[in-house]
A and B are shown apart, each in its own frame.
Chain A
Amino acid sequence: MATLKLKDFRKSFGKVEVIKGVDLEIGHGEFVVFVGPSGCGKSTLLRMISGLEDITSGTLEIDGRVMNDLPPKDREVAMVFQTYAIFPHMTVRENMAFGLTIARASKQEKQQKVAEAARILQMEHLLDRHPSQLSGGQRQRVAIGRAIVRNPKVFLFDEPLSNLDAALRMDMRMEIGKLHEQLDATMVYVTHDQVEAMTLADKIVVLKDGRVMQVGTPMDLYHDPGNLFVAGFLGAPSMNFLQVDVQTVEGDDAKVGNAALKPINVAHKDRLNGSGKAILGVRPQHVEAAAPGEGMLLGTVEFAERLGSETVVDMVLKDDSKFIAAFNEDKVFEPGQTVDLVFDPAQAHLFAPSDEVETVH
């Protein structure tokens, strides 16, 4: 258990700056997930904490101690890699005890700590096997076991489930969640999978281009995204963005609309920039079909995906913009059919216009 403090963290490879000033505090026993598109610097950030990459500028504190110049082993962290990084020539037991072997610990200590970790991970029966005799999930469990044996202050996970197939990924995800409760340890977890981020995290850190876009609990980020990027990144299918005109502003609300959208009142949260333009975000799940002629939007169906539990419909609005609606039931839509749509303005989000909307959609 430990606290982590990152202050104005920066990293450059040559002239290219990949981490552009990250400030972050992680409390005792917190499960923090770094999430973002590939190339956003989330893995680099993790590797800077572990000591595998050096810190170009800024400070890293673990439990109040500055760790910048300490080698990885002295930072009391353990890391689990995407490719497992378990030693192919060693048995599971030897792999898990590797840190202790390096530290020349006694046989008895090794025995006891490995047994303890194996019990937690329910893999006592695998201890004498070689990695080649294990499945992907079991191998990753060995790597996690090796981390547990180290008894670190901070667990670092670098996309640990990305090499597993979907079903296994779900199992392991739950197991890592359970493990966190059981060990009550501080964990930092990197993923590009938002489902992992949403389900595991106490706190999500959304990164983009080496900068923190938003930090908060999963539900905070989902229900109240602070900017266009976070709004578009979390949630699947991703949020619809409508280019709207601001007609009037009254108190906390703004009246917005466009050629496709009948004017509605939405909380502006001081995000308007006075240009008279804005972007309205509507989650596909928050849209419902209305009786003909009574909708706020009129969409023409292009394509519908029936998933059984929900139906995802790609539509085109009157102003030729794309719109996706996800209905929480199995429904039949024909291409070319028009659908009247309504949504609760309280669940819509208003953002200042920016060119980012292109990259998000």
Chain B
Amino acid sequence: MAGKLTRSNRAGWLFALPGFSLLFLFIIIPFFFAFWLSLTNQRLVSPNPTEFVGLKNYSELLRLSVLTLEPERDDAGQIVRDANGEIRYPRVRTITRSGDFPEYRGMREWFRWQSGENAKVVVASNVVFMKALTNTLTFALFIVPLQGGGALLLALLINQKLRGINAFRTIYFMPVVISIVVISLLWRFIYDGEDGLLNNILAWLTFGFFEPVDWLGKSDTALGSIIAMSAWQAVGFHMVIWLAGLQTISPTLYEAAAIEGASKWQTFRYVTWPGLRNTAILVLIVITMQAFAIFAQIDVMTNGGPLDSTQTLVFQAVERGYGRQDISGGSTISVILFVMVLMISAVQGILTRERT
């Protein structure tokens, strides 16, 4: 009787149905929906019918240009300088709002640099998106070595037969089990500019010489603070993965290396690291994908501020899609994010594939 049930194909599908339909409903359908919506002007709630707009959403997000501004000159042809001796340039809006240059209409300055006496100005159709993009890339760039390397270091420390080693394993793993929202709230207290734990510790370590910093309130420290906290939070998870990898390496390989006279570093270089190859690929890809999906920390700790210095792609997607009810815009960001992660994973796959 049991045999018939477990061997029947139909029974199998029946059992898979609840899980499968949930996956279908909430992952697979929305995935394809996002592609479609990004080509329309769909809003979350709107009386107007949805229209197909082609790639307009994409161009509104991705349009970039470089403008060259020549210095203002007085009647004698001399460059005009302000009170500090800085060269004065015409304002960017004289171009972006001018009817003479319709191709720059609606764009705003993202950043500029000096080139001779001219100024080069990069204008973007959506500066906030560009900031979100660069912040996300910066976040990923720092978090991968920080989290991956830190986790490897912890795993190497913890992969020893010491009394009470399990206590350390538990402690390092604890942040992983706690909700990221709770952790973000706690770290907001730690980073507090007035009486935060971090400021207090730094003041204590420097005998009171340290000037308190509003870590999350300044645009040059906010992203770094979030990177540090995020690296700390998930480091235990990757530590466990590294640990699993370390324990697959045969102990006799270490013994052979010891007999050949390998130093600690040489043992790591010739035995441990090559043995961790597959683990490294997994950790690298998982951290990268998680990094691109960063949202909760931003939402709880900074809301993208100050001055958009902690905007990220997913935060922008949610902000646009639900905050501003611009579902098509949010979908467009999601699709762009998807393509980016896909490409990066593909490149990582190619770079780390087995060479034989």
List the interface of chain A (C-beta within 8 A of B). Answer: 50-52, 71-74, 77-79, 81, 83, 85-90, 98-99, 101-103, 130, 143, 146, 150
Contact = CB atoms under 8 A, between A and B. Distances in A.
B260 A85 contact: no
A351 B131 CA distance: 91
Contact of A85 (B256, B270, B274): B256
A73 B270 contact: no
Nearest to A89: B274
A229 B165 CA distance: 43
Interface residues of B, number: 19
Contact of B259 (A52, A86, A130): A52
A130 B275 CA distance: 14
B63 interface: no
B252 interface: yes
Contact of A83 (B250, B258, B270): B250
A146 B257 CA distance: 11
Contacts of A73: 258-261
Given A81-B252, A102-B266, A130-B356, A87 B258 contact: no
25 contacts: A50-B259, A52-B259, A72-B258, A73-B258, A73-B260, A77-B259, A85-B250, A85-B255, A86-B256, A87-B256, A87-B274, A88-B274, A88-B275, A89-B274, A89-B275, A89-B277, A90-B270, A101-B270, A102-B262, A102-B266, A102-B270, A103-B261, A143-B256, A146-B256, A146-B260
B271 interface: yes
B80 interface: no
Contacts of A72: 258-259, 261
Given A85-B252, A85-B253, A71 B258 contact: yes
A77 B256 CA distance: 11
Given A98-B270, A102-B266, A130-B356, A87 B260 contact: no
Nearest to A83: B252
A101 B252 CA distance: 19
A52 B258 contact: yes
Nearest to B256: A85
Contacts of B252: 81, 83, 85
A101 B261 CA distance: 10
B259 A98 contact: no
Contacts of B262: 102
Nearest to A133: B356
Contacts of B256: 79, 81, 85-87, 143, 146
Nearest to B356: A130
Interface in B249-288: 250, 252-253, 255-263, 266, 270-271, 274-275, 277
Given A83-B250, A85-B250, A98 B356 contact: no
Contacts of B257: 98, 102
Contacts of B271: 87
Contacts of B258: 51-52, 71-73
Contact of B260 (A83, A88, A98): A98
A312 to B, nearest CB: 38
Contacts of A103: 261
Given A72-B261, A87-B256, A130-B356, 4 more contacts: A73-B258, A85-B250, A98-B257, A102-B266
B290 to A, nearest CB: 28
User: Which 3 pairs, one residue from A and one from B, show the smallest C-beta to C-beta distance?
Assistant: A73-B261, A85-B256, A89-B274
A87 B259 contact: no
Contacts of B266: 102
Nearest to B254: A85
A89 B266 CA distance: 15
A83 B252 CA distance: 8
Interface in B209-265: 250, 252-253, 255-263
B255 A81 contact: yes
A83 B256 CA distance: 11
